[in-house]
């Protein structure tokens, strides 16, 4: 007969630890059409940092109208990200959407869906990155339609960043933006540059610019940022993660 006491295998005796992601947990709300951002986030995910994704509906058409309609879906999408309240940061992972809707509305919706998380967006990250690099004049390359380019220029200039040139590709479909080759993005970014620009910004999370941002920066001889690089940097810093990364531009290696 076994006289040993029963093992305490009950909920009251489970020895919990901090889980797989003790350093931070970051949530990203993506467009339903998005195909690039998740790969980029995982490429630069530090050990011990959790990344979590939700999607907001949108047709395969990136216009001012379809982006504005995203506002009504942001709170619901954020609500699906770690409903236990442990999320540290929540980011609207769409450059054009965040400037069309506006940061204030994005943050308002995120506070409804993820009230414990610090809210941010890609356009928020881009402005913060340019300030960190002490840049006041920028050349911008985008894949967007002219209507969105105009809004981006106004949005940045309202926040103290002079856009000396903005050049778009005139693409409407997200499914086309994800297929623009990185080598083409190098030449496109350099063509959009101007001597008076203190930095180059390649806008849009769908573009695979992270793959070549270091080469753009090296060939231009000035800082270069792209949407996903700035977004990842901003989210990590807001979560208190100070890890730096080589090979993805000076923003991530020096700031």
Domain ranges (residues) in the chain: 24-123+230-247, 125-227
For domain 125-227, the CATH architecture is 3-Layer(aba) Sandwich (3.40)
d(CA 224, CA 25): 27
Using the CB atoms, write b or e for 67-105: b if 16+ within 10 Å.
bebbbebbbebbbebbeeeebbbbbbbbbbbbbbbebee
Band the pLDDT of 116: cuts 50, 70, 90. very high
Structure confidence by residue, pLDDT tens digits, 65-108: 999 999 999 999 999 999 999 999 999 999 999 999 999 999 99
Give the per-residue pLDDT at 6.
63
Write down the pTM of the prediction. 0.95
Give the per-residue pLDDT at 12.
87
Structure confidence by residue, pLDDT tens digits, 23-37: 999 999 999 999 999
Give the per-residue pLDDT at 9.
85
DSSP state of 226: E
Band the pLDDT of 254: cuts 50, 70, 90. very high
Band the pLDDT of 13: cuts 50, 70, 90. confident
Per-residue pLDDT at 1 exceeds 70: no
d(CA 234, CA 124): 8
Domains 24-123+230-247 and 125-227 in one fold = yes
| Tokens describing residue 30 | 């993506």
Q: What is the mean pLDDT of the chain?
A: 96
Topology of the domain covering 24-123+230-247:
Rossmann fold (3.40.50)
Helix (H) or strand (E) segment spanning residue 201: strand 199-202
Structure confidence by residue, pLDDT tens digits, 127-179: 999 999 999 999 999 999 999 999 999 999 999 999 999 999 999 999 999 99
Closest CA to 74 of 122, 45, 106: 106
d(CA 105, CA 88): 19
Give the per-residue pLDDT at 3.
64
Asked if residues 67 and 33 have their Cβ atoms less than 8 Å apart, the reply is no
Over residues 228-237, mean pLDDT: 98
Count the alpha carbons within 13 Å of 89 in the hemisphere toward its beta carbon.
26
Give the per-residue pLDDT at 2.
61
Give the per-residue pLDDT at 8.
75
27 CB-near residues (< 8 Å, 6+ apart): 51, 52, 53, 54, 78, 81, 82, 87, 89, 90, 91, 114, 117
Give the per-residue pLDDT at 5.
60
Over residues 221-241, mean pLDDT: 98
Asked if residues 227 and 249 have their Cβ atoms less than 8 Å apart, the reply is no
Give the per-residue pLDDT at 114.
98
d(CA 191, CA 159): 25
d(CA 126, CA 159): 11
């Amino acid at each position: 007969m076994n006289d040993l006491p029963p093992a305490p295998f009950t909920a009251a005796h489970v020895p919990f630890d901090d889980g797989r992601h003790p350093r931070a947990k970051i949530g990203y709300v993506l467009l339903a059409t998005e195909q690039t951002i998740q790969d980029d986030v995982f490429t630069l995910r530090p050990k011990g940092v959790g990344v979590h994704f939700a999607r907001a509906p949108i047709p395969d058409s990136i216009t001012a109208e379809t982006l504005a309609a995203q506002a009504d879906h942001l709170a619901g999408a954020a609500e699906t990200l770690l409903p236990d309240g442990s999320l540290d940061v929540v980011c609207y992972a769409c450059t054009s959407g965040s400037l069309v809707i506006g940061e204030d509305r994005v943050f308002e919706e995120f506070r409804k869906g993820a009230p414990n998380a610090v809210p941010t967006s890609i356009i928020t990250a881009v402005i913060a990155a340019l300030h960190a690099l002490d840049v006041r004049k920028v050349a911008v390359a985008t894949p967007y339609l002219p209507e969105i380019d105009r809004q981006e220029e106004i949005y940045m200039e309202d926040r103290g960043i002079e856009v000396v040139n903005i050049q778009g590709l005139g693409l409407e479909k997200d499914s086309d933006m994800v297929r623009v080759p990185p080598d083409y993005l190098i030449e496109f970014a350099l063509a959009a540059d101007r001597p008076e620009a203190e930095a180059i910004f390649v806008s849009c999370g769908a573009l695979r610019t992270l793959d070549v941002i270091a080469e753009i920066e090296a060939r231009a001889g000035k800082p270069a940022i792209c949407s996903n690089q700035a977004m990842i940097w901003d989210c990590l810093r807001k979560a208190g993660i100070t890890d730096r990364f080589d090979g993805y531009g000076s923003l991530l290696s020096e700031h």
